Chains A and B, each alone.
Chain A
Amino acid sequence: MSDKDTICAVSTPPGEGGIGIIRISGRDAVRIAGTIFRPRRGGDLQSSASHTIHYGHVIDPCTAETIDEVLVSVMRAPATYTREDVVEINCHGGVVPLWRTIGLLIQAGARQAEAGEFTKRAFLNGRIDLAQAEAVIDIIRAKTELSQRSANEQLLGGLSRDISGLMERILRIITCIDAALDFPDEDIEMPSGESLEEGISSIIRGIDGLLSGYIYGSVLREGVAAAIVGRTNVGKSSLLNALLRQNRAIVTEIPGTTRDVIEEFINISGIPLKILDTAGIRHTHDMAEIEGVKRSLAVIESADIVLIVMDGSQALTPEDYKVIDKAKGKTAIGVINKSDLPKMTGSFEWPKIQMEVSCLTGAGLDLLKQKLVELMKKGAVPPGEHAWAVNRRHKTILEQSKANLERALSNVKNCLSPEFISEDLRGAMSSLGLITGTTYTEDILDRIFSTFCIGK
């Protein structure tokens, strides 16, 4: 109902084409866009006339890093889709800069739009006439119901179950605190600092577990992670370079990944493919073969699709088999490189999908990509444990909840009065409740009465 917020969202469907449009609507749309946009010609977005287009760059205001080259349209109220100030940013860089730009806009004060929210505003602001109104409501309704349905699926699937579990644990702590607060005459002991610390820390760990699922969930929506593995000198780097050569590549450093693993995105038929690549391959000659295998093992774990690269011109070695062995259970493609040379590998049973390529001549690469797309589209990607499809909204909520919990934790350490800790925990609860759609106020009293001997 926060209809005065400025909202933003990617308004083009993910897929084919490098261009994505971000739409921002609301009172502060121009100001917020202005904070991250540097026009090529200089000047200031805020002073620009309505319905004008500006060329320039999206800049991270904190680091001054250039995120993307963009075209920005400024459209002032009321002659816009929502009848509010609207800014549209045409990004060219593909999925990653698109999302980073969204992230910057949120940092600058915009809020991620709910499904159908632009349309809803257009309606509420009278942009759409009476005849269209009911159709619009149908849209709002349908979208909400759709999201409810998928929420229910997640309930069965696991995210909600995990979140309910976390909420239950938070509720238990609130119950103990509030019982002692509300019944000072009843011999109820306030939980000790240590027990609070322990309880809250373990909930934070739980949230961290779910947050790690975000990377996975985002991959499901925004692309798939593929690992290129294999023993040294089979042509892993050549394969990577061959794939990159024909496609736009965005190299990103993602904090928290293994230091030796590089993540690169390539765009295959509009779907982003994240390639997990062991950096070590660039100086394999310095390394023992065993180290190469070890690195491969680490990335296999985090990949959805494993490309096991083998040297087709040689017989398979024990190291090759070790890699194959470790990748078992994953969706894997055996990439037999050096198809320009006579094939010496002989036959092997797994992976069943085997593709012969030559990174040197480029032969077979198109077929390989086709196969990758096929696998990605099939969704032949089994989710790992706790790796529920945590979407961007969930992620924001989980982070909010975590921030509340961390504040609670530091307040416990600082011996702040427990009603503040309870307040933090309630904040954490209501955030999580946004995912499962549950509230809890009455629960606290019910818990107190069922847990403690109360009564004078």
Chain B
Amino acid sequence: MSPNITSHTRYNYPNQYDVIVIGAGHAGCEAALASARMGCKTLIATLNLDSIGQMSCNPAIGGLAKSHIVREIDALGGEMAKNIDKTAIQYRMLNTKRGPAVWSLRAQADRKAYQQSMKFVLETSENLDMIQAEIIDFVVAKGENAPYKIIGVQTRTGLVIQSKCVVVTTGTFMNGLIHIGPTQLAGGRIAEPASIGLSDALRRLGLGLGRLKTGTPPRINGQGIEYDKVTEQPPDEHKEFFSYSTEDVNQPQVPCYVTYTNKNTHKIIHDNLNRAPLYTGQIKSVGPRYCPSIEVKIVKFADKDRHQIFIEPEGLHTTEMYLNGLATSLPQDVQIAMLRTIPGLAKAHIVKFGYAIEYDFVFPTQLYPYLEAKQIENLFLAGQINGTTGYEEAAGQGIMAGINAVLKIRREAPFILDRAQAYIGVLIDDLVTKGTEEPYRMFTSLAEYRLLLRQDNADMRLASFGHKFGLISDRQMRLLEEKKQQIESLIMLLQTTRHQEKTCAELLKRPEIRLSHLPEALFADYGPDVLRAVEMQVKYEGYIQRDVLRARKLKKLENKSIPTTFDYNQVYGLKREAAEKLKNIKPVSLGQASRISGISPCDISLILAHLERK
């Protein structure tokens, strides 16, 4: 039984579960849905049932590399893509000047609508119970292959709930500490309590925890914006959606706006750096480099005389606006003063002040690539607790943790995606193999197989897995088969249709020719994803083939699995430092082993030799 009970009275909850998910953010929702949809009796527990699927930061889904993850989640049978399509109030395709591999979709969300829609999906899901409760401890037993094994959880109010697996997706809530100027408040998000106690419970089970920082900008009442002083950024006219199953979107689409800081803004910030928690030493942990606070930008890039601010609507039924680009933990008077200097925002009223938050995270190298803790059997971790940031990164881990919890219960082989299969694979592999020192966000430059991992082909890469797990319907698979056939037939058509003495396929290979330059009649019947996939496959055939070859080589190493009980001391000739690292990370394959920093090709040869000898 649990070593530390803080409530005096305990009640055994009458229901027993296969999987309990702690936290109902983006990771938690996907984990719970995957588990329930795979037929496991699932419970999702959250501090506040009215902030399910909350976007703590900007009200947008997608963007570079993130949109790829959203489509991968969709291809695996997750909910995020469908949910944003139901609630998006602006779509924009980014990078359309470039090739298809780096096109990325981004949507502004109606924040409240997104939450409600997600909540409804959970509520109406079979096999899924919901409960508003703070989980403060785990019920554990001795593990078979690890020191501990999870058998349940305990709430602050004394409920003990039994389950076979637990997925922890607590985001920024564990020991969350909010900073607004010199003021410090305990909290998981603004106006929401932190989760206290769970960190200690994880520590007691032997996990190491660190601390990270992130931050948000002030939000304003849009009524005060002088729209003639800002630039409108309209939605795309040709809408493309996140989910492969979305056919159309009916809710109204609204614009964003752009404005800039200036020297006066920067002077105010500069004059108040002595009150900035990031510079006074009040904030001790590391924040994300790609999402620096405005005060950091001004100090670090002193030569820039202006910084971009995106004014993003929070929803259709509110005038609240989010000032993307102005994240800050400066004191409230400074936030007000700096807003006064920004064109278009001078008369706007701050309704929620910007803040920074520090929170506990678990060093993700303590997890297997299927997100189970090495120390604690049947405990899975996903999302921001693993050191990532971003809704999409969280959701991607969430669905993988949910699937793997179920596979664990069924005693089936874990589900791992490799770096050539999915951004989700890159994400988890980076986390569990290398760890992270700052909140980890996905970028296309992190993917070695960027040209293969496109958002137009996530379904072709991953839907068969989703189907195998019962998360993708037969009908969806039939549609996918049709799409594949369309791609093949269009390629065939291009190879056989002659235009100006050459086949269209040959023409398309010329650098200056795009698919859109060919006679329109050829491809009028095909959807944008088909066209993009065809253009990629025909026009950039050489690149695709090279990457496919590289991926095949990768696969060889990924397929050489290493048992988690493997004794590295038995490997003749392996250096001690290498053995220590390997014992620590416990790589599941030679591929993962080869990516551990400090492990040489020679070490890999030795392990291989040892494995083959058996």
Interface residue ranges, A against B (CB under 8 Å): 1-2, 120, 123-124, 130, 133-134, 137-138, 140-141, 144-145, 148, 174, 178, 181-187, 411, 414-420, 422-423, 426-427, 437, 441-442, 444-445, 448-449, 453-456
Contacts and interface: CB of A to CB of B under 8 A. Distances in A.
17 contacts: A1-B557, A138-B573, A174-B445, A183-B64, A416-B99, A417-B97, A417-B99, A420-B540, A427-B546, A455-B289, A455-B290, A455-B291, A455-B296, A455-B325, A455-B327, A456-B308, A456-B325
Nearest to A178: B445
Contacts of B434: 442
A184 B95 contact: yes
Given A427-B546, A454-B292, A455-B290, 7 more contacts: A137-B573, A140-B605, A144-B602, A184-B64, A419-B98, A420-B99, A455-B297
Given A141-B606, A454-B290, A455-B291, A419 B308 contact: no
Interface residues of B, number: 56
A158 B327 CA distance: 47
B478 interface: no
A431 to B, nearest CB: 12
B450 interface: yes
B297 A449 contact: no
Nearest to B540: A420
| Listed residue (B98, B297, B590, B601) with the most chain A CB atoms within 10 angstroms of its CB | B98
Interface string B77-99: 00000000000000000110111
B553 to A, nearest CB: 7
B448 A441 contact: yes
B608 interface: yes
A448 B572 contact: no
B370 to A, nearest CB: 23
B609 A187 contact: no
Contacts of B296: 455
B511 interface: yes
Contacts of A123: 609
Contacts of A1: 553, 556-557, 590, 604-605, 608
Nearest to B608: A1
B95 A134 contact: no
B543 interface: yes
Contacts, number: 129
Contacts of B321: none
Interface of B: 58, 64-65, 94-95, 97-99, 101-102, 104, 289-292, 296-297, 300-301, 304, 307-308, 310, 324-325, 327, 434, 443-446, 448, 450-451, 511-512, 540, 543, 546-547, 553, 556-557, 572-573, 590, 600-602, 604-606, 608-609, 612-613
A407 B28 CA distance: 46
A124 B445 contact: no
A453 B546 CA distance: 33
Given A419-B98, A420-B543, A182 B300 contact: no
Contact of A185 (B310, B573, B608): B310
Nearest to B294: A455
Contact of B445 (A138, A427, A445): A445
In the A-B complex, the 5 residue pairs with the closest CB atoms: A414-B511, A417-B99, A453-B301, A178-B445, A455-B292
Contacts of A415: 511-512
